[in-house]
Amino acid sequence: MSDFDLVVIGAGLMGCASALRAAEGGMRVAILERGAIGSGASGVNAGTLSLQIKRVGLIPYAMKGHEWWAKAGDAVGFQQTGGLTLAFNEREAKLLTERMGLKIAAGAPIELISSNAALAREPGLTRRIVAASWCPADGFASSNRTGTYLRSLLSAAGVALHEYTPAQNIERTDRGFTVDTTVGRFGCRRLLLATGAWTKQILAMLGLDMPIRVRVNTVAVLERGPRTVGSVIGHATGLLTLKQKSDGTVLIGGGWQGRGTPASGRGEVVADTLLNNLRLARFVVPGLASFRLLRSWTGFEANVPDFTPLAGALPGIPDAYVLTCVRGGYTIGPYIGRLMGDLILGREPEMKLFDPGRFADAAVVASD
Amino acid sequence: MTGTYDVIVLGAGPAGASAAIEADRLGLRVLVVDEQEDAGGQFWRMPGPKAARAHAEPDGNDLRARLRASGVTSSFGRRAWFIEPGFRISMIGPDGIEEGTASALILATGAQERHIPVPGWTLPGVFGLAAATVLLKAQGVLPGRRVTVAGVGPLLFLVATAVLKAGGEVAAIVDVNSRRDWLGHSRGLLSRPDLALRGASWLAQVRARRVPVLTRHAVRRILGTNTVEAVEAGPVDAAWTPIRGGARRIECDALCIGFGLIPLTDASRLLGASHRFDPTLGGWVVDVDRDQKTSVQRLYACGDGAGILGAAAAPLRGRIAVLAAARDLGRLPTSSFEVQARPLRAALSRSAHFGAAMTALSAPRPGLTNLISPETTVCRCESVRRAELDAAIAEGAVTINDLKSATRCGMGPCGGKICEEAAAMLIAERTGSAREHIGTATARPPLRPIALDPLLGEFNYDALPIPDLAPL
């Protein structure tokens, strides 16, 4: 049994970013991951880095997140292409104008542009645009490369990474916690749960429950084809993200729902919702009609009823922390993880975190 | 062919077509789906217009005639792209999307070839051994004028004989096995004397034409600038690792090379059935019991897709699967099931013996990966070289999914069908991990790449079901 200052459960973007910050601050850190590093939502999402689809309250965090991705650069396939969000009827135009107005007020470099200006940027779009917005800061990265990149950072920082090492039991001790795994017991002073959609199951090991729900988001990739679109394309409702990568493949997402649960370990694509997601994409970019569908998959996205991150100390359990349910976590994760690392180091984070204690009433501490 | 059936059979090869005919005999409403234009699969493939119909295997013609005479609904020229639990199968054909639903599904999806990326394998003029049989049988086309046939197993002699019969020259047969390896399986081979005799006749034809047969040899390099000009072959040891020296150059304009067959498991993996790694059945294979039932309720698998046991075992396994499905659907009393399944099982045990011997003879040995040089492209869809895979493995990619994420190996149009086996063998060699831990890529729809336009059909933007809005 080794003793760590911090054990992080979950080697996604947020767990790794927190671990890196804590290690930078001098802590001995281990990460326990049930599968491969970055293989959950961090590795299977559509890779969109867009301020236009972020929640208003998270815009400042997302802008900081963008800086991290830009710095990671080629290693994660980062490209700052700029992004367009489009509306195709009056209802969507109203929505677009209202929502982007609030995000502009929150500091995002977004501008509302005419449909002609949108078409001038992207001639491959449908002519049926009614309203549009443009954000030069938007872009994307290749989420499948997240894990490999994080692994190299952890290795350089001396963080002990244990992949394929699921946590099976957590006990509180007088010195902190012990976590039992398939390869033995890990002891630590502090514990961080960065377990994404699996957080409900892990919280149960601590006798806690929180109202965490899980969405099953669908992503599809089209076989490489002729250059058809250059920027990240979104829809006023948030129900489409679309980008063509430098190799010509096209990634399509937007949060259309598959089925499955984290407990069953796998999510499944539902044919009808996949087809409607693809129809929306083809409507927006008619040239996609000649492309072939190569693959589709799902990723689990956790959220709580107020759609605000769970990021901070766990109620009623000293030295235990949780970081999950960050809507837009791919963009924001690296930054909010750093803030989390600061909190664990006992420093004042430079932006406020989101106290999980707001669900303390719902949290049930086991009576035994 | 959109409709509701008692049973859907995916694949109309020897196993699937036999299963469909049996289902019809039992009074079940049955749909059989295949992307080819007629039944027969790869083994009894229907000859195309260029090939003489007389060249078709008589067993294949018989199967096609019996299928046509039955009440089976055949959905040929349709590609299944999505299967949902329960079961709903979506296929695309000349008239767009069609759907079939049934409470029982029988997978008879056959096998794919195991490729070992020998330096130069992406040159035009290099064919898979199984691909060469299709070229010769279905198209009546020779892979080249002077052909080297290399790799492992009975297909070596089948292809060589077919090349000779079609008027081509066979430069050499390069077999990684020794004569002793072949003899070691003679008991299994003699379990089906008819099939063993057929193999012996191939060998006799090869001998009569004085084709050089290099045993315990492998192709080390394929030479040529724009097309195959020659191959370099050399001796290998018992683990199939190349031995220093002894290389010889064989002039030829085509190479047919293959290292055995692997069960095609995309559909059973997509449906979440349990699988295991069993080298005696060709590698990763769906778990089936003696009734051909998988771990998923009312999902059955038969034919080479449920373990490489060959075309003789396939129809028997197909018929057993349908008997079990009929029983499970309450359409065949258990006592009748037992009476009807018993003779099929007896015949299966003989044929399976033969097939298992052939598969064991072809089971890859660890030295094969030494044929893949660092500069050799392993994943041709995404242009990933062996050196890049080795580097990613050294950095901690220990499963196929890890390696895929790290390097894009297997992310292209073939979905890993060509490179995954070689990539898994490389991980095994480098890490010493068992193939069970290395795993397979997660199966994801579509089963094959599919063009968007016919897939999406006509639609109206305003009618798209836009779900609830994301919160602000």
Which positions in chain B touch A290 (Cβ < 8 Å)? 451-453
Distance, CA of B90 to CA of B274 (rounded, Å): 22
- Cβ pair B471:A55 closer than 8 A: yes
CB < 8 Å to A102, chain B: 472
Question: Which of B90, B401, B408 has its CB closest to that of A36?
Answer: B401
Gap between the Cα atoms of B229 and B123, Å rounded? 10
CB contact under 8 A, B453 and A145: no
User: Which pLDDT does position A7 carry in this prediction?
Assistant: 98
pLDDT tens-place string over residues B191-203: 888 888 888 888 8
Place of tokens 């724009």: B226
Report helix angle B14-25 to B314-328, nearest 10: 40
Q: Does residue B155 have a pLDDT over 70?
A: yes
The residue whose two tokens read 């399976």 is B352
Selecting from A88, A152, A290 the residue whose C-beta is nearest the C-beta of B461 gives A88
Cα Rg of chain B, angstroms:
23
SS3 B174: strand
**Contact call for B406 and A255, based on CB within 8 A:** no
B459 inside 8 A of chain A by CB: yes
- CA B75, B80, B82, B84: dihedral to nearest 10 degrees? 40
CB A41 within 8 A of CB A326: no
From chain A, pick out residues whose CB is under 8 angstroms from the CB of B412: 223, 294
d(CA B106, CA B325): 8
| DSSP per-residue letters across B360-400 | HHH---GGGGGGS-TTSEEETTTTEEHHHHHHHHHTT--SH
pLDDT for the residue numbered A362: 64
Rounded average pLDDT over B10-20: 97
Return the residue of A nearest to B91 by Cα. A271
Catalogue all structural domains in chain A, each as residue range(s) with its CATH number. Answer: 2-42+145-212+305-367 (3.50.50.60), 81-139+213-303 (3.30.9.10)
First to last CA, chain A: 25
Phi-psi region of A305 (alpha: psi -120 to 50; beta: other; left: phi over 0): alpha
Residue-level pLDDT at B472: 66
Interface of B with A in 271-300 (CB under 8 A): 272
* CA end-to-end distance (rounded Å), chain B: 45
Contacts of residue B368, Cβ cutoff 8 Å, sequence gap at least 6: B116, B176, B218, B240, B259, B425
Q: Which residues of A touch B467 (CB under 8 A)?
A: 239, 256-257
Using the beta-carbon criterion (under 8 Å), do B455 and A278 form an inter-chain contact? Answer: yes
- Collect all residues of chain A within an 8 Å Cβ-Cβ radius of residue B465: 276
- The dihedrals phi and psi of B202, each to the nearest 5 degrees, come to -60, -45
Nearest Cα neighbor of A92 from B271, B464, B297 is B464
Question: CA A66 to CA A55: how far, in whole Å?
Answer: 15
| β-bridge pairing A29-32 and A2-9 | parallel
Q: What is the pLDDT along chain A (368 residues), one digit of tens a residue?
A: 458 999 999 999 999 999 999 999 999 999 999 999 999 999 999 999 999 999 999 999 999 999 999 999 999 999 999 999 999 999 999 999 999 999 999 999 999 999 999 999 999 999 999 999 999 999 999 999 999 999 999 999 999 999 999 999 999 999 999 999 999 999 999 999 999 999 999 999 999 999 999 999 999 999 999 999 999 999 999 999 999 999 999 999 999 999 999 988 779 999 999 999 999 999 999 999 999 999 999 999 999 999 999 999 999 999 999 999 998 999 999 999 999 999 999 999 999 999 999 998 766 654 44
> What CA–CA distances, in Å, run from B271 to A209, B289, B472?
32, 17, 36
Lowest mean pLDDT among A70-79, B90-99, B167-176, B419-428: B90-99
Taking the C-alpha atoms of residue B163 and residue B161, their distance in angstroms, rounded to an integer, is 5
Interhelix angle A329-344/A59-72, nearest 10 degrees: 100
User: Do the beta carbons of residue B251 and residue B125 sit within 8 Å?
Assistant: no
Token pair in block for residue A289: 């009609």
pLDDT at B50: 53
Which of B408, B413, B462 is closest, CB to CB, to A294?
Answer: B413
Least confident among A354-363, B262-271, B307-316, B412-421: A354-363
Separation of alpha carbons B85 and B105, rounded Å: 10
Q: E strand or H helix at A83, and its extent?
A: strand A83-87
This prediction's pTM: 0.93
Is residue B302 within 8 A of residue B255, CB to CB? The reply is no
Question: pLDDT tens digits for B96-139?
Answer: 899 999 999 999 999 999 999 999 999 999 999 999 998 998 88
Cβ pair B149, B130 in contact under 8 A: no
Q: Which residues contact B254 (CB under 8 A, 6 or more apart)?
A: B125, B126, B127, B142, B143, B144, B145, B146, B147, B148, B228
CA pair distance B167, B175, nearest whole angstrom: 22
pLDDT attached to residue A226: 97
Give CA–CA dist B99/B83, Å, rounded: 10
B464 CB neighbours in chain A (<8 A) are: 276, 279-280, 283
A271 vs B445: CB contact, 8 Å cut-off? yes
pLDDT at B49: 56
**What single DSSP character describes residue B50?**
T
Contact A290 B452 (CB under 8 A): yes
CB contact under 8 A, B451 and A292: yes
Q: What is the mean pLDDT of residues B32-47?
A: 85
Q: What is the pLDDT of residues B359-382, one digit of tens each?
A: 999 999 999 999 999 999 999 999
**Which range (A17-21, B37-41, B184-188, B248-252) has the least confidence?**
B184-188
DSSP A56: G
Q: Which residues contact B306 (CB under 8 A, 6 or more apart)?
A: B107, B263, B285, B286, B288, B292, B317
Mean pLDDT in residue range B280-292: 96
Q: Which helix (H) or strand (E) holds A175?
A: none
**For B457, which residue in chain A has the nearest alpha carbon?**
A279
Q: Which positions in chain B touch A278 (Cβ < 8 Å)?
A: 452, 455-456
The closest CB to that of A293, out of B450, B471, B472, belongs to B450
Is cis: bond before A177, omega within 30 of 0?
no
Q: Please indicate whether, in this complex, the C-beta atoms of A148 and B408 are within 8 angstroms of each other.
A: no
List the strands of the sheet with B230-235, edge to edge: B217-223, B230-235, B248-251
H-helix or E-strand containing B271?
A: none
Q: Between β-strands B3-10 and B96-107, what pairing exists: parallel, antiparallel or unpaired?
A: parallel
Question: Which residue is associated with the tokens 């996949």?
Answer: A274
Structural element, H or E, at residue B141: none
Q: B466 CB near a chain A CB, below 8 Å?
A: yes
Q: What are phi and psi of A98, to 5 degrees?
A: -65, -50
Q: Report the b/e string of B231-269 with b at 16+ CB within 10 A.
A: bbbbbbeeebebeeeeeeebebbbbbbbbbbbbbbbbbb
